[in-house]
Structure 1
Amino acid sequence: MRSSATAAVAALVVTVAAVPATAAGEVVTEVSAADRAAALSHWTPERIAQLGADDRLAPAETTAKKWDGQVPSGVGRLFVTFEPGGDMSCTATVVPSPGKDVALTAGHCLNGGFTREDDRVKTSNAVFVPGYADGKQPHGMFPVRAFAWSAQYDGPSSSGSDDAVIALDPVEGHHVEDVAGSQRISFDPLPSTVDTTILGYPVSRLARGESLVSCALPATYQTNSAYSYWQTNCDMAGGASGGPWLRDFDPATGDGTLFSVTSKGTMREDGTTADLSGAAFTDDVRALYERSATL
């Protein structure tokens, strides 16, 4: 459920700018200062707008609706470039951390494995824009200085542990959590059905990635022989990947508790999305989050 400039819902593969290092049960990639500066220069307003200008975008959602009002705390767009693949975007959410600079997204937004020729697909120009709305960047653009996923995550072909954390540079001395807020996160057991608000920036004909979109639906817990996940009838298109699944959400304050992120969607023949799923948090994802302060 990523979105690129060439397809709204595409089977693109993405991975890291340099060979990542595995340590303490996680795969970590650090981004050089020069590459972070290049990322900020890369994402001009014109380049961002181009993501939603493709004539082959998915049809507009009918269940999901444009968000009315201020973007909830900590939610924003994550932009990256893939080689091969081109520019694309996902969704991410700031979560509490000691350094006030960590956000959570889907693992496949940063880890795409290999091309058909078994070459790593390179990721560059990773930036996060909290509060993004119709081209406006109210809190600024934060370059990604490091990102990590659990060593148990096997890449885009895997649905379990499909989560990643990103560490962000301050902007003009301000940490992202201080200026954009954050959402609570919990790994506590939940009932099999949870009233859920899902948020994302699908690059479909409804909003072309320019506006936040939401679904408020029950999410049901599912499990199979490989992994456990949450499922809803939300129909957000590509670009919604990594978006938060929130329980106990208060629209008045924009605050809730994160218990999953958008991972996959089932696409119909007409290009619409039939449903969304989000991987259930695992012990290794919890450990990843708890270690994110070291990035």
Structure 2
Amino acid sequence: MIPRARHFVAAALGSALLIVPAFTGIAHAATSAVASKVYAVPLARTLADVKRVADYWKPDRLKQTDLYTPATPGSGAGSTTSSGAAAGPAAPAAAAVTAAKRTNAAAAVAPALPRQGTAANTMGKVFFRFGDKEFWCSAAAVAARNRSVVATAGHCAYDSRTGKPADYWIFVPNPGPNGGAPDGIYVGASISLHEDWSGKGDYDYDYAFVTVHRGFTWVAGKDGASVMQDVGRLQDNVGGLGLELSKKPGTYTVTAFGYPAGQQPDGTHPFDGKTLLKCLPGTTRYTVAPGRDLQKGVELTPCDFSPGASGGPWVIAYDSTRRLGSLAGVNSLTWNRDAKGRYDSVSAPYFDTTTGDVYRRAASLSTIPNVT
């Protein structure tokens, strides 16, 4: 029997994983890096853009986040079936996408504590819109030289089916009940991703590194209205996970985190999506899913995450005291290998030197100096 996902931190919301049928093929994919095709898609560029997004996420709307839909891979419509993205998605608009110059692969990045305190709060939720509907996913802060990078799944930032980035994208680390944001709200400035996610929904690249602006909190003004108060950079406030690249599956164990909320195959709903959960450290192996163009995926077993954990981090050498470790993947797909009542594993794209190029792009971008 698969160990149940362990409760980790109370008072959070939820995200989603795509439900896929069991696949029987497991291949040891080549680990050599392919030529990088890294893109930066702008979100909120100016102070006016930041305030527009902030005004959308006023406290009254944040209080409704329990009602929003977990984002599903490849589907801006939020479907939780295995139908996935439609064939031939639209290409990104040329004016909105900027090609990044190829760099040397990023070396491993060390985890970082916040400027104050002895423990980090890197994990949280992202909220955004596709079209006229609100969605959410899991995510985590990653240590970076600009101290402003969030890692999540590609489908939690960019809809490859329609060829469009998310609107009104924010990250809320360590979210509290009723829309609480004790460590600030961070508006997305730019998405860094691989063109094979944006262009064709290739699940080998279902990851995104989002550069975020300085954070803010809502405070009461003199007239009782909500007013933005700048709280500084993300990493300064919550710390950042490290980053590990090109780790051979089977040579390490990893702890997966997320906010599962969806239905299990037997129809039960054991998780409420309001609590950060973890699967105990498990073994990893290569996996493939031809229907998703996944040729070099990494599968973690056992893990019974249900829809509600997309974008949640895979952490190597997790230190429960400092609440830090190094990022080695993000939740992308769930699996029901034994065709029984519970999901039994989860998979992530393989983090290789190409992933390092995407990360480095996000870590190099600057943001505006103040958001109020």
Give the structure-2-normalised TM-score.
Answer: 0.61
Identity %: 23
CA-to-partner distance for each residue in 1:237-291, whole Å, 9 max, x for gaps?
2231111111111212211111111111136989853421011112211111122
What is the number of equivalent residue pairs in this alignment?
258
Give unmatched runs, 5+ long, in structure 2: 1-12, 20-35, 71-79, 81-118, 216-229, 263-268, 366-372
Worse overlay, 262-271 or 125-134 = 262-271
Quote the residue 1:148 is aligned against.
192
Q: Distance in 1 between matches of 2:176 and 2:120?
A: 11
CA-to-partner distance for each residue in 1:89-146, whole Å, 9 max, x for gaps?
111111111110011111121222235xxxx456211000011243432101111111
Q: Whose Rg is larger? A: 2
Deviation at 1:77, TM superposition (A): 0.5
Q: Distance in 2 between matches of 1:208 and 1:199?
A: 15
Deviation at 1:30, TM superposition (A): 1.2
Say whether the 8 Å CA contact 2:18–2:333 is kept in structure 1.
no
Q: Distance in 2 between matches of 1:139 and 1:193?
A: 35
Say whether the 8 Å CA contact 1:215–1:234 is kept in structure 2.
yes
Which amino acid is the alignment partner of residue 30 of structure 1? P
Q: Is residue 102 of structure 1 aligned with residue 149 of structure 2?
A: yes
Q: 1:40 aligns with which of 40, 45, 54?
A: 54
Say whether the 8 Å CA contact 1:230–1:277 is kept in structure 2.
yes
Go from structure 1 to structure 2 and tell me whether the alpha carbon gap of 1:174 and 1:99 turns closer, same or farther (over 3 Å shift).
same
Say whether the 8 Å CA contact 2:146–2:364 is kept in structure 1.
no
Say whether the 8 Å CA contact 2:286–2:298 is kept in structure 1.
yes
Say whether the 8 Å CA contact 1:26–1:149 is kept in structure 2.
yes
Structure of higher RCO (CA pairs closer than 8 Å, 6+ residues apart): 2
Quote the residue 1:139 is aligned against.
183
Which amino acid is the alignment partner of residue 173 of structure 2? P
CA-to-partner distance for each residue in 1:35-68, whole Å, 9 max, x for gaps?
4323323332332121279xxxx9xxxxxxxxxx
Q: Is residue 189 of structure 1 aligned with residue 237 of structure 2?
A: no
Q: Distance in 2 between matches of 1:36 and 1:270?
A: 46
Tell me the C-alpha RMSD between the 2 structures. 3.2
Go from structure 1 to structure 2 and tell me whether the alpha carbon gap of 1:270 and 1:109 turns closer, same or farther (over 3 Å shift).
farther
Quote the residue 2:88 is aligned against.
none
Which amino acid is the alignment partner of residue 121 of structure 2? S
Say whether the 8 Å CA contact 1:265–1:273 is kept in structure 2.
yes
Q: How does 1:40-189 map to 2 (within 5 A)?
A: 40-43=54-57, 44-51=61-68, 73-83=121-131, 86-115=133-162, 120-121=163-164, 123-135=166-178, 136-153=180-197, 157-171=201-215, 172-189=230-247
Say whether the 8 Å CA contact 1:127–1:141 is kept in structure 2.
yes
Secondary structure class of the residue paired with 2:310: coil
Q: Is residue 228 of structure 1 aligned with residue 296 of structure 2?
A: yes
Go from structure 1 to structure 2 and tell me whether the alpha carbon gap of 1:10 and 1:152 turns closer, same or farther (over 3 Å shift).
closer
Go from structure 1 to structure 2 and tell me whether the alpha carbon gap of 1:271 and 1:110 turns closer, same or farther (over 3 Å shift).
farther
Give unmatched runs, 5+ long, in structure 1: 12-23, 59-70
Q: 1:31 aligns with which of 43, 59, 66?
A: 43
Q: Distance in 2 between matches of 1:131 and 1:235?
A: 22
Q: Distance in 1 between matches of 2:69 and 2:161?
A: 26
Q: Distance in 2 between matches of 1:289 and 1:122?
A: 18
Worse overlay, 262-271 or 161-170 = 262-271
Say whether the 8 Å CA contact 2:159–2:198 is kept in structure 1.
no
Deviation at 1:181, TM superposition (A): 0.9
CA-to-partner distance for each residue in 1:190-245, whole Å, 9 max, x for gaps?
45142221111223444533221111131322145852222123122223111111
